[in-house]
Amino acid sequence: MKVLIDNINIIDVTAADVKNALASAMSDYEDAMLAVSGQRWKADYIITRNEKDFRQSPVTALSPQAFLEQFHSE
């Protein structure tokens, strides 16, 4: 866990994120919270096993496998 935590950013959630998630076109509120807070923090990707729920996300969603394949080749 320490290696993981040392290599990622853990972001906060604001009241504006809550409101923006509620106004989002995304149907799942928790997914919308990830998407809007990720957008605010200018996240490059959301890594998820459930990419289909992030089709309307402002942040690109990748499966863990796709993420590793994309960045393993660099």
Phi, psi of 61 (to 5 degrees): -105, 135
Q: Does the pLDDT at position 31 exceed 90?
A: yes
Helical axes 29-40 vs 15-23, angle rounded to 10°: 120
pLDDT class of 7 with cuts at 50, 70, 90: confident
Instruction: Indicate whether this model's pTM tops 0.85.
Output: no
Half-sphere exposure of 39 (CA within 13 A, CB side): 17
- What pLDDT, on the 0 to 100 scale, is given for residue 14? 97
- 30 CB neighbour count, 10 Å cutoff: 10
Structure tokens at 16: 């504006």
Phi, psi of 70 (to 5 degrees): -65, -40
